[in-house]
């Protein structure tokens, strides 16, 4: 099927309140334009160099989301234009985003990544680390970042009950963190979870933002 047909099929399963992030990493600019012409405006990239190459050549109203692990020495390149950084997985990264945002004169929107999967290879805060950071005086002084919610990746498994449990635990944690730390913050509403293989479960468990790549664009071009 074409990119347009793939999007039409996915859209039948995505409620209006759930944002679709089209994961365009490893796919050429003409593929991004096909999705753009189909009405999509949110695109996700996970490699800074690739994003830097694509961004100037594509429409200015695209909202670029950075969805991968972001190295501190590359943060300054994406801060001037990125709409949302999904994978903030350490206080060190958040500090550097704030520093670069202050230099640029922006407030950068971020999601805090929580480690919910079994795999050690996945990044993210533990619940304890997350609360420790949010409790700190240093966090309260960061004025050039806005925390919009949480992000997580489920274990890569065929066990749907396990995936569902991990997504549900992240939704519960998001509700707890909202109540404890962001009760008066209207922007803290997002829960980024769900990819091509598990987005339907994620939506059922409260996701507000899904990250879909291969189901839209097909096999990646490396």
87 touches 66 (CB < 8 A): yes
Task: Count other C-beta atoms under 10 Å from residue 79's C-beta.
Answer: 22
The CATH number linked to 53 is 3.20.20.10
**Per-residue pLDDT band at 118 (split at 50, 70, 90):** confident
**Per-residue pLDDT band at 117 (split at 50, 70, 90):** confident
Q: Is the pLDDT of residue 119 over 80?
A: no
Q: Which domain holds residue 44?
A: 3-217
Average the pLDDT over 91-107 and give the result.
98
Q: For residue 39, what is the DSSP state?
A: T
101 touches 108 (CB < 8 A): yes
> Is the residue at 131 inside a domain?
yes
Q: Is the pLDDT of residue 122 over 80?
A: no
Nearest-Å Rg of the Cα atoms of the chain is: 17
The pLDDT score that the predictor gives to residue 174 is: 98
> Is the residue at 183 inside a domain?
yes
The backbone region for 135, taken as left when phi is positive above 0, alpha when psi lies in -120 to 50, beta otherwise, is alpha
The pLDDT score that the predictor gives to residue 49 is: 96
SS3 at position 183: coil
Average the pLDDT over 58-77 and give the result.
96
Q: Is the pLDDT of residue 162 over 80?
A: yes
Average the pLDDT over 107-134 and give the result.
91
The pLDDT score that the predictor gives to residue 220 is: 67
Give the separation between CA 212 and CA 200, rounded to whole angstroms.
Answer: 11
- How many distinct structural domains can be found in the chain? 1
pLDDT tens, position by position, 13-25:
999 999 999 999 9
pLDDT tens, position by position, 2-45:
999 999 999 999 999 999 999 999 999 999 999 999 999 999 99
**Per-residue pLDDT band at 95 (split at 50, 70, 90):** very high
> Is the residue at 222 inside a domain?
no
The pLDDT score that the predictor gives to residue 60 is: 97
The pLDDT score that the predictor gives to residue 210 is: 98
Average the pLDDT over 100-116 and give the result.
97
pTM: 0.94
């Amino acid at each position: 099927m074409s990119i347009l047909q793939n999007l039409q099929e996915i859209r039948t399963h995505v409620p209006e309140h759930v944002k679709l992030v089209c994961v365009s990493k490893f796919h050429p600019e003409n593929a991004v334009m096909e999705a753009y012409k189909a009405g999509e405006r949110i695109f996700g990239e996970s490699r800074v160099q690739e994003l830097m190459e694509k961004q100037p050549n594509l429409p200015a109203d695209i909202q670029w989301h950075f969805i991968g692990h972001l190295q501190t020495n590359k943060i300054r390149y994406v801060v001037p234009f990125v709409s949302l950084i999904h994978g903030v997985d350490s206080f060190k990264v958040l500090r550097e985003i704030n520093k670069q945002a202050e230099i640029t004169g922006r407030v950068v929107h971020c999601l805090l990544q929580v480690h919910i999967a079994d795999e050690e290879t996945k990044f993210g805060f533990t619940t304890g680390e997350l609360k420790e950071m949010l409790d700190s005086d240093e966090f309260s002084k960061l004025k050039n970042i806005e925390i919009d919610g949480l992000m997580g990746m489920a274990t890569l498994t065929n066990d749907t009950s396990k995936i569902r449990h991990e997504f549900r635990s992240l939704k519960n944690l998001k509700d707890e963190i909202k109540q404890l730390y962001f009760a008066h913050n209207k922007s803290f509403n997002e829960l980024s979870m769900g990819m091509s293989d598990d987005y339907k479960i994620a939506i059922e468990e409260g996701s507000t933002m899904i990250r879909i790549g291969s189901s839209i664009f097909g096999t990646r071009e490396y």
